[in-house]
């Protein structure tokens, strides 16, 4: 009996030691899991803030051509984002200007080189930054109490060649408010050109239209007044050959002598109806994808085939589909696309 009692006491002592070890391991695991999750969140917040600052700086630089204004915009937009519970502060010396250069399949930032089209922002929460480092919750128990994340983001005023491909089929003559669908489209194109002229001064635009057939109207140009005049004179008649229209837009970006080899190529394909003649846009969009062109699609009115146009957009890298039910929606869609064309993150 005496030997049995000793054995039981030994087992109890061993269990106490084992439980103590397990509790220590659980505590260390909790430290790692909580602080690791917090570190991931802070990195994501810092990435968002730094990207926003770089985009704002590049967009302002493209509009104003003034480095001081661009630097102010970058600082302002960084401060609109919280990182580890504090609005991010970026000093002017954390913002650099330069140009971009194509190198194989990559686009590289070249600092302090004209033309100034790109902005690089260094976002930091370290000992040298205005906001200081990030304090961890439990890391101090392991003698790791500080976290010092750094992010770099580079955004460039995007050099783009843009093809507008517009539906002028008979259904565009349908009454809409005080005018027609075509009237609303003409207004929306003016909104688009206004925004593009303000935010993307390096952009060129071509104009193509389609109904039963498709026709190029204006080759690539930075004279937006010419496109406005051509759009104002467009009539509405015929069927809806979306595929032919898309191919005409592709041709305008591929074979126009004014096309620029390093400019991003974007097609904006708009329709108010259903494809009903000629080759399908699902077929011709493959030509756009093969030539590294992005196709954004717009459907206007409830009659339009949104499913088809969404598939067309998704067939190209970065392609987006937008829908508008009325004239106000159409203005907003064209404005949003123009803003998205303005800048690109390259890092």
Residue 113, pLDDT > 90, answer: no
Q: Do 166 and 142 share a domain, yes or no?
A: no
Distance of CA 15 to the CA centre of its chain: 58
pLDDT at res. 279: 97
Could you say which DSSP state residue 63 is in? H
At 117 the pLDDT is 81
Predicted confidence at residue 314, as pLDDT, reads 95
Question: The CATH number of the domain where 255 resides is what?
Answer: 3.40.50.410
Q: What band does 47 get if pLDDT is binned at 50, 70 and 90?
A: very high
Confirm whether pTM is higher than 0.85.
no
pLDDT, residue 264, reads 81
The answer to whether residues 102 and 179 belong to one domain is: no
Alpha-carbon span 162 to 156, nearest angstrom:
17
Where is pLDDT greater, at 302 or 140? 302
pLDDT of residue 317: 85
More confident residue, 104 or 242: 242
> What is the overall mean pLDDT for the chain?
88
> pLDDT tens digit string along 293-321?
999 999 999 989 999 999 999 999 889 99
- Whether 225 and 80 map to the same domain: the answer is no
Same domain, 121 and 211: no
Which stretches within 120-241 are classed as H helix?
181-199, 224-232
Residues 309 and 242 both lie in one domain: yes
Nearby residues of 339 by Cβ (< 8 Å), 6 or more positions away: 195, 199
Q: Do 149 and 166 sit in the same domain of this protein?
A: no
43-47, 98-102, 133-137: which has the minimum mean pLDDT?
A: 98-102
Confidence of residue 200 (pLDDT cuts 50, 70, 90): confident
Domain limit, last residue, from 123, 157, 191: 157
Locus of tokens 């330069």: 98
Share of the chain above pLDDT 90, in %: 67
pLDDT value for 119: 95
In terms of residue numbers, what domain contains 205? Answer: 160-345
Q: Which tops the pLDDT comparison, 64 or 183? A: 183
pLDDT of residue 262: 64
**By the 8 A CB rule, do 110 and 97 touch?**
no
The answer on pLDDT for 145 being more than 60 is yes
**Domain end among 116, 133, 157:** 157
Indicate whether 93 and 240 sit together in one domain: no
The answer to whether residues 121 and 19 belong to one domain is: yes
For strands 264-271 and 293-300, give the pairing: parallel
Check whether residue 103 and residue 151 sit in a common domain.
Answer: yes
| Nearest-angstrom CA–CA distance, 189 and 265 | 18
Token digits for 168?
A: 């002028």
Give 111 or 156, the one with higher predicted confidence.
Answer: 111
Residues 146 and 169 occupy one common structural domain: no
Distance separating alpha carbons of residues 270 and 246, to the nearest angstrom? 10
Listed residues 138, 157, 176: the one ending a domain:
157
Q: What percent of the chain has pLDDT over 70?
A: 86
> What's the Cα-to-Cα distance from 208 to each of 51, 145, 165, rounded to whole Å?
35, 61, 5
Residue 339 pLDDT: 86
């Amino acid at each position: 009996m005496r030997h049995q009692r000793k054995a039981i006491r030994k087992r109890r002592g061993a269990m106490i030691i084992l439980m103590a070890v397990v509790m220590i391991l659980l505590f260390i695991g909790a430290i790692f899991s909580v602080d690791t999750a917090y570190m991931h969140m802070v990195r994501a917040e810092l990435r968002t803030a730094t990207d926003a600052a770089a985009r704002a700086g590049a967009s302002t630089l493209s509009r104003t051509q003034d480095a001081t204004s661009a630097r102010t915009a970058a600082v302002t937009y960084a401060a609109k984002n919280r990182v580890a519970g504090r609005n991010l502060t970026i000093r002017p010396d954390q913002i650099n200007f330069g140009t971009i250069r194509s190198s194989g399949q990559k686009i590289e930032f070249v600092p302090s080189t004209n033309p100034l089209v790109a902005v690089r922002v260094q976002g930091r929460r370290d000992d040298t930054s205005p906001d200081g480092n990030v304090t961890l919750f439990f890391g101090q128990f392991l003698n790791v109490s500080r976290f010092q994340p750094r992010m770099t983001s580079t955004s460039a005023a995007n050099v783009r060649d843009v093809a507008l491909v517009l539906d002028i089929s008979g259904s565009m003559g349908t009454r809409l408010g005080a005018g027609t669908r075509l009237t609303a489209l003409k207004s929306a194109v003016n909104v688009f050109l206004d925004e593009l002229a303000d935010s993307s001064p390096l952009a060129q635009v071509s104009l193509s239209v389609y109904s039963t057939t498709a026709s190029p109207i204006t080759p690539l140009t930075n004279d937006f007044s010419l496109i406005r005049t051509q759009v104002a004179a467009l009539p509405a008649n015929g069927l809806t050959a979306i595929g032919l229209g898309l191919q005409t837009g592709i041709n305008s970006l591929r074979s126009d002598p004014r096309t620029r080899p390093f400019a991003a190529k974007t097609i904006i394909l708009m329709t108010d109806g259903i494809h009903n003649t000629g080759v399908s846009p699902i077929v011709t969009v493959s030509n756009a994808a093969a030539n590294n062109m992005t196709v954004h699609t717009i459907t206007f009115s409830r009659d339009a085939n949104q499913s088809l146009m969404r598939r067309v957009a998704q067939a190209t890298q970065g392609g987006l589909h937008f829908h508008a039910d009325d004239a106000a929606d159409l203005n907003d869609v064209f404005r949003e696309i123009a803003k998205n064309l303005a800048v690109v993150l390259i890092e």
